[in-house]
Structure 1
Amino acid sequence: MDEVKELSINARKRIREFVETIDALREKAREVNAFEIVQEVVNTFRLLEIYQGSRLPEDQARVENIQELLNSILTFTRNNPPEEATLTHYLEEISLVTDIDRWDPSQATVTLMTLHSAKGLEFPVVIITGLEDGLFPLARSVNRDEDLEEERRLFYVGMTRAKESLYLLWAQERQRFGNQQWGGGYFYNAPSRFLREIPEHLTKEEPVKIQPDLEYIYDDQEDEKGEFRIGDWVVHDKFGKGQVLAVENSPTGTKVKVFFETKGLKTLVTEYANLRPWREG
C-alpha cells in the first residue's frame, strides 16, 4: 500500500487503520461469541448511529434490518452452548437456509423465503410468522397510508400462496434489540392489524405456549406509584380501551406505550394522560 503513489498520505493512513481494525476484529472473533463480535462490528463502524441519523426511508429500513440481524444472532447465542455459539457456527447454520433460487418444487421440503420472494409461487401449506404491529406492518409504515396499504397488499400475496392450509403466527412476547426508546429485552406485542381485518368465521385461533412464563422480565416494569405494568388494560378519555406494551421511568416522568383498540399505538406520559385501570363491567 505504501508503494501506491497515487494515494495521498492521508488516504494510505486511513486504509491502514481500516485493515488494522479488520484484523483486530478477526482476532477477537476467535475469543468471543457471535453476538459480541457482531455487536462490536456494528459499534466500531457506527452503523446504527449513521442510519438512525438519516431521514431516508431506505436508511430506516437498514436500521430495522441490522436490529433484526442482531436479534437473530442473540437468539442463536443464547440457544447454543458457548463452544458452539461462535460466528463461524452461526454462519454455517444460516447457510443451510434454503435459497429460493435453488428451490425445487418437486422436493417435499420446507422452504424459507420472504413474502416478496413468494410472489407467483404456490404451496400446499403456508406459514407466515411475525404478524405483530410494529413488525408487520412495520412501525414506520403505520402513519403513512400508502406504506400501510403496500404492506397490506404484501400480506394478501402471502396468504394467497396457500392452496390447502394457511397458518398465521404472532408472538405475544418477542425479544427486541436496539430499541433506544424502550430499552432491550422482551416486548409484549399486539397482533397485527391485518389479522384483525380477517373475518372471524374464516379463522380458528389456537394459542401455543413454547416456553415457561418469564415473570422476572417484568419485575422492574412498574412505575414508581405501582400503577401500570406491561400487559395491563387501561382506559383513556379520548383513546378508549388499550393495553400497556411498555413502561419507561425517566427524569421527566413515567412514559407508557399503549395499543388502543380503536386508535392504535400511542405514547403517553402517565402524569398527564389520566389513564385509569380498565375493569370489566
Structure 2
Amino acid sequence: TIRLEQNYRSTQNILDAANAVIRHNAGRKGKTLWTENGGGEKVGVRTVLNEQDEAAFVTGDILSAVGRGARFRDAAVLYRMNAQSNALEYAMKRSGVPYKVVGGMKFFDRAEVKDMLAYLCVLNNPLDDLRLRRIINSPARGIGGTTMDKVAALAEQQGASLYEICRNADLFPELKTPAKKLLQFADLIDGLRKAGGSLALPEFYDAVCEQTGYTQALKDKNDMESRGRLENVQELKSNILGFLDRQPEDATLSGFLNEIALYTDLDSLEGSDDCVTLMTIHAAKGLEFPLVYVVGMEEGVFPGSSAQYEEDELEEERRLCYVAMTRAKERLTLTHARQRMLYGKTASNRVSRFLEEAPEENLNWEGRDLRPGGTFGSSCAGGFYGGGDGSEGVRRPVYARPARPSYQEARRTAVSQTAAPSIALSKGDRIEHGVFGKGTVLSVQPMGGDALVQVDFEGAGQKKLMLKAAAKHLKKLDS
C-alpha cells in the first residue's frame, strides 16, 4: 500500500486541522497529509451572533483582502445547504461585491421564489398583468394558455386589466367554459387581500403559501426537487422577517416589495470573471481557492440534524468537512453563529463538533466572548434543527451544554464589532472606496434607515451600494 500523503495545495496549519477532524472517522484508512508549503496562517474561527452578522463579516473580510491586493475570484464561500446562500447574497449585493453561485441558482432567480413574489405583487396590486399571468395557473388550476390569451384579448378590447376580466368572467360569452375557474381565482385574490388588512406580514405570507395551494402542491409531489423548492419558499419568509427587523417603520407589503425590487436591481457585475464563488460543499470537490470561508459550523447545520444519531451519516458529514477545509490554499476561515434563521424559523445553535475536533494550536478564535466554552456533554442541538425523541436504544453523541454570555451581551458585542461609521454623501461628492478606488457620487436615494448610493468609479465603473454596508470602506475626498 502506497499512501499519497504530500499535499501541494494547502498550508500545514490547514492540513493539521483537517487531519485532526477526519481522524475521528473510525472507518477511514489512515493517511496524514503534509506539505512543503510552510505553516501558513492559523485557521480563523469566527463566532457571530446570527446569519446576518456572519454574512456581513464574510463580505467585509473579502473586501479587506481585495483591498490588500487579492482578487474577488480568489475567495470562495462554502455552505452545507443551498438556503444559506440567501443571507450571503444579500450582504454581497449591498456591498457591491460581485459573486456567482456555482451548482445552483441565485436565490431570487429560483422559479419558486419568483412565483411567491409574483403572488405578493398581485396581492399588493391586482392590476399587475405580467405577474398575474405568471401565477394564475401555478399551482395548476386548469387555466391554460389558450384561456389566458382570450382574457388578454378581452382586456385589450375593454381597456381593462387581466384581473378585472377574471373578476367578471361570467359576463363574457368567450369565457363561458373557464368562467368558474377564473372567478374562483379572483375570489382567492380578493380573500387574501382582505385578510392582509388584519394579519402581520409574516402571518400573511403563511396564509398566501397555504391558501394558494402552492406549498401543498410541492408537498404532494414529495420528491427531492420539490422538497428543495419548498425549503426555498419557506426561506423567503426569512427575508420578510429580516425586513421587519431592519425597517420596522415601513412594515408593509409594499415596503417589503420595494426593498426586494431594490435588492434585485443592485450591481452584481453579471458575467465578470472576477467574482466571489458561492457554492455548496458538495459542489466544491476537486476545486481550490486561496481564500475559503466555510459558514454555518453548527450542530444541526453542519453536521445536519439527521446525521447526529447515525454513525455512517456523521462520518460522511465529517468527510465533507475535510473536503471543505482542504479547498483552501492560503487562508481558511470557519464561522459559527449563536443563532440562525433558516426557512423562516430561528434556532439557537451549538458549535459544530467539527470545530471542537480541530486542535487549538492550529486555530485562531475571533469573537471569543461569543465562543461557547468547554467540551460537549449530554445534550445535543435542539430547537428547529431537531434533537432526540427520548427513545431507548438510539446511539447519541455525548456533548456538554456550553456556557454563554446573555443574548443582550452578545448583541452589544456583535454590534460594536460590525457597526459601520456614519458618512453623509450628496450628489457630486468625490469619494474613495477601499476596493473600487476613487469615484463621483451620481445619486443618493434614501431607503428607510439606509440609502442607495450610485457611484461612478474611475476604475470599476458605475456601482450601486447600500450606504450602511459600504460606509466603513468609504471616505470623502476634498473637492
* TM-score class, shorter: 0.5 to 0.7
Tell me the secondary structure at the aligned position of residue 136 of structure 1: coil
* Residue in structure 2 matched with residue 104 of structure 1 by the alignment: 273
Write the distance in 1 (CA, Å) between the matches of 2:300 and 2:242: 19
**1:35, 1:77 within 8 Å by CA — same for their partners in 2?**
no
Q: Deviations over 1:124-166 (max 9, x none)?
A: 3222222222223332454566655554444344323322211
Q: Matched residues in 2 for 1:171 and 1:192: separation?
A: 10
Aligned residues: 219
Pair 1:42 & 2:209 matched: yes
Amino acid at match of 1:92: L
Pair 41,91 (structure 1): closer, same or farther in 2 beyond 3 Å: farther
**Distance in structure 1 (CA, Å) of the matches to 2:280 and 2:213:** 27
Shift of 1:168: 0.9
1:189 aligns with 2:359: no
Structure 2: which amino acid aligns with 1:104?
Answer: D
Counterpart of 2:262, as a letter, is E
Are residue 266 (structure 1) and residue 388 (structure 2) matched? yes
Aligned match of 1:166 in 324, 332, 342?
332
The answer to whether structure 1 residue 127 and structure 2 residue 264 are counterparts is: no
Give a deviation string over 1:35-73, Cα, whole Å, max 9, x none.
Answer: 565434322234445555776454444443333332233
Alignment-derived partner of residue 241 in structure 1? 378
Partner secondary structure for residue 167 of structure 1: strand
CA distance in 2, matches of 1:55, 1:143: 24
| 2:225 pairs with 1:78 | no
Note closer, same or farther for the CA distance 1:94–1:163 as it changes in structure 2 (3 Å cut).
farther
After superposing the two structures, state which structure 1 stretch, 114-123 or 25-34, moved more.
25-34
**Aligned residues of 2:338 and 2:349 also touching (Cα < 8 A):** yes
1:71 counterpart letter in structure 2: S
Q: Give the 3 Å change call, closer, same or farther, for CA 56–121 of structure 1 in structure 2.
A: same
Distance 1:209 1:63 in 2: 37
Greater helix percent: which structure?
A: 2
Q: Determine if contact 1:33/1:87 at 8 Å carries over to the other structure.
A: no
CA contact (8 A) 1:34 1:87 kept: no
Distance 1:142 1:245, change over 3 A: closer
Consecutive unaligned residues of structure 1, counting only runs of 5 or more, are 179-183, 211-230, 248-256, 259-264, 270-276
Cα distance, 1:14 vs structure 2:
2.8
Report the CA distance shift for 1:149/1:60 in structure 2 as closer, same or farther (over 3 A). farther
SS of the residue corresponding to residue 267 of structure 1 reads coil
Report the Cα offset of residue 267 of structure 1: 3.3
Q: Secondary structure at the match of 1:77?
A: helix
Contact 2:340 2:349 in 1 (8 A): yes
**Within 1, Cα distance between the matches of 2:278 and 2:267?**
7
- The structural deviation recorded for 1:15 is 4.7
Pick aligned residue for 2:258 from 88, 107, 117: 88
* Between 160-169 and 90-99, the greater mean CA deviation after superposition: 90-99
Give distance in 1, aligned partners of 2:309 and 2:220: 19
Query: Kindly tell me: are residues 137 and 122 of structure 1, through their superposed partners in 2, closer, same or farther at Cα, counting changes over 3 Å?
Result: same
Question: What runs of 5+ residues in structure 2 fail to find an aligned partner?
Answer: 1-146, 152-172, 392-399, 402-479
Cα shift at 1:169: 0.9
**1:111/1:209 CA distance change after superposition, 3 Å:** farther
**Contact 2:236–2:343 (CA under 8 A) maintained in structure 1:** no
* Residues in 2 aligned to 1:94 and 1:32: alpha-carbon distance in whole angstroms: 26
For residue 295 of structure 2, what is the amino acid of its counterpart? T
Task: Give % identity.
Answer: 34
Q: Which runs of structure 2 are paired with 1:131-280 in the superposition (5 Å)?
A: 131-142=297-308, 148=314, 151-175=317-341, 186-207=346-367, 241-242=378-379, 245-246=382-383, 265-268=387-390
- Provide the rounded CA distance (Å) in 1 between the counterparts of 2:317 and 2:288: 19
